[in-house]
Every structure is written in structure tokens, then in C-alpha cells.
Amino acid sequence: MAEGLWSEVVRGIGFTEGPLWMPDGTLLVTSMSRGLLYRLRLDDSSDPVVATYETGGGPNGLALHPDGSVVIAQNGSTAFASRSERPALPGIQVLVDGTVHDVLTTDCAAPNDLLIAPDGSVWFTDPGSSAAVGFAPCVRRYDLASGTLDTLVSEVQFPNGLALGTDGTFYLADSITHEILAFGVAPEGLVDRSVFGVAAHGGPDGIAFDADGNLYVAAFESNEVVVLDSSGHVARRIPTGEGSRPTNLCFAGPELDQLVVTLASGGRVIVLDERIPGRSL
């Protein structure tokens, strides 16, 4: 960890991903290698772990649905073996009142990250290709109420982090090309594809916006957070430490001004000491 920049919340909880700030003032993160969700405190408590929830498989991205449930992108242990004995197929799960439910278990290869669209549908990236399910890496849309599943974006090499801008523009990180793609959202789907910016040599993973419209990118390969301004240019690089392998990030805390980053190396969660007003996911 880059000394003097970050404070450590927890370590040793497996391959961490998917940070999500919760209305009750706690942080949820996933452990892909343990098939668990961890609920954490961000204060200086000697024991930051409040609770754990078993998902099985490889839980990855998280999002909070308007109905209060937590939606989980479940990759089904496609990245590496899970310690959990709970069966979990690639798909979508929900956490409701402390219990994990499987809601989509077919036609997915390896769901990675997700968001809740304004209409309540779940948009998720699926970078795993599979002849068995008949599609290549893509972004998909799933309606929790009707069970409808369709494809929004294809022809992308490794769709990973995703976010919606304040103007409704959809942003997508491609971890292989290192591009952050932008799309207009129209009734017929996603249109007007363009390259918003590039996190060169970074291997962009999770992404999130601050309150000023800057896009924060967890750069797995270059061990840093890359900040792109509203024009898509690199405005700042915040190192997370050599070999730290940042996977995802979000803004958290009572004022939503604490940048939280999950680090695969050491199974860690860290918080930037500098306060930066952010946007909720």
C-alpha cells in the first residue's frame, strides 16, 4: 500500500471485489475466493467485520436495488476455486434480509460487475465466453420482475466495470484494450459507441464517478487508481502500492466522501485519507 495515502480497513479476507456503501452506514465487499460477502465498518474498530453472508461460487460486483435488496454478480467460480461448499452457478443473486437467493442461473458464462438502471433492471458485464450458452463477452440486461434477459453490448473483448453518468451516458471498461467506452442510452438500447478515455497499461476494472464528474478507475495491472476528467483525459494517478492489484472502488462514508478500494493482493480493503465528494453507484 502506498504509505501516507491510504488507511487499511481489513486484510486477509480473500480476493476482494465489489465494494458497496449501504444505507445503514456499513460497507459490503465480496470475496470471490471464499464465496462470501463481508459487511464491514469503516471506523477504527479493531474488528471491522460486522457479518458475513455465504453466496457460494465467486461473488463479484454488487449493486443496491431500490427495493432494498443487494444484487450480486455471481461468476460461479470461473476465475478460481471457491472455499465455499454452497453450490452457485454463473448468474445473478440477491441478498434479502440476510439470505442469499439465486434468481438467474442460466444463459450466463461469468457475470462480473453490475449496476441498477433507472428502470430497475440489472445491467451486468459477462466477459466469459461460452459456446454452451451461445454468446461471446458482452453486457446484458436482466429484469428481476419478468425474468427477461437480453444483450445490450457485444464486440468488446473483456467487459468489466460499468457506470452511468449524470446525463445518462453508459460507461464501460474493457480490461484488454484498456479503453473506457461510452454509449448513448436510447429506447432501442445502447447507441453511438465511442472511446471516452484510455487507462494505458492499467487493465481497468471497476469504475465510479465523483461528484464533479471525474471517473475513477481501478487499474489492476498498474496498481493505481486512474482519474479521468470529464473530457476523458488522465487528470491524476493515485498509487495503491506495488503489486496491490486494485479490483474495484466506490465512494462511501456518511458524507459519501471516502474513496474505498478493494485490493486482490492480501485480501485488503483500503480508504483514501484525502476526502473527495463522490456519487453513489
- Mean pLDDT in the chain? 93
Looking at the predicted structure, is the pLDDT value of residue 205 above 70? yes
Task: List, for residues 250-270, the tens digit of each pLDDT value.
Answer: 999 999 999 999 999 999 999
* pLDDT exceeds 60 at position 8: yes
Q: What is the pLDDT of residues 227-240, one digit of tens each?
A: 999 999 999 999 99
The more confidently predicted of residues 183 and 1 is: 183
Torsion of CA 175, 180, 181, 182, to 10 degrees: 150
- Domain hosting residue 116, numbered range: 6-272
Say which range, 7-11, 78-82, 210-214, 271-275, has the weakest mean pLDDT. Answer: 78-82
Taking only the tens place, the pLDDT of each residue in 15-34 is: 999 999 999 999 999 999 99
pLDDT, position 155: 87
Q: What is the pLDDT of residue 3?
A: 59
- Residue 281 is assigned to a structural domain of this protein: no
Taking CA atoms, 107 is separated from 130, 142, 208, 246, in Å, by 9, 11, 27, 29
| pLDDT greater than 80 at residue 209 | yes
Reply yes or no on whether the pLDDT at 118 is more than 70: yes
- List, in sequence order, the alpha helices (H) in the chain: none
Of 134, 69, 72, which Cα lies nearest the Cα of 106? 134
Count of structural domains within the chain: 1
User: Which pLDDT belongs to residue 264?
Assistant: 96
Q: What is the pLDDT of residue 45?
A: 74
Helix (H, G, I), strand (E, B) or coil at 9: strand
* Chain-centroid distance, C-alpha 201: 20
42 domain residue, yes or no? yes
Beta bridge partner(s), residue 227: 216, 236
* Consecutive H or E run containing 94: strand 91-96
Residue 222 — very low, low, confident or very high, per pLDDT cuts 50/70/90? very high
Look at residue 219 and tell me if it is in a domain: yes
278: in domain:
no
* Nearest alpha-carbon partner for 107 in 87, 135, 79: 135
- Region 117-122: what's the mean pLDDT? 94
Q: Quick check: is 63 in a domain?
A: yes
- Tell me if 181 is assigned to some domain: yes
Does some domain include residue 209? yes
Please indicate, yes or no, if residue 87 is contained in any of the structural domains.
yes
- pLDDT value at residue 46: 81
**pLDDT tens column, 155-176:** 899 999 999 999 999 999 999 9
- Residue of 190, 191, 192, 238 lying closest to 214 (CA atoms): 238
Residue 129, pLDDT score: 66
The CATH number of the domain holding residue 231 is 2.120.10.30
Percent of the chain with pLDDT over 90: 85
pLDDT of residue 270: 97
pLDDT on residue 44: 74
- pLDDT band per the 50, 70, 90 thresholds, residue 43: confident
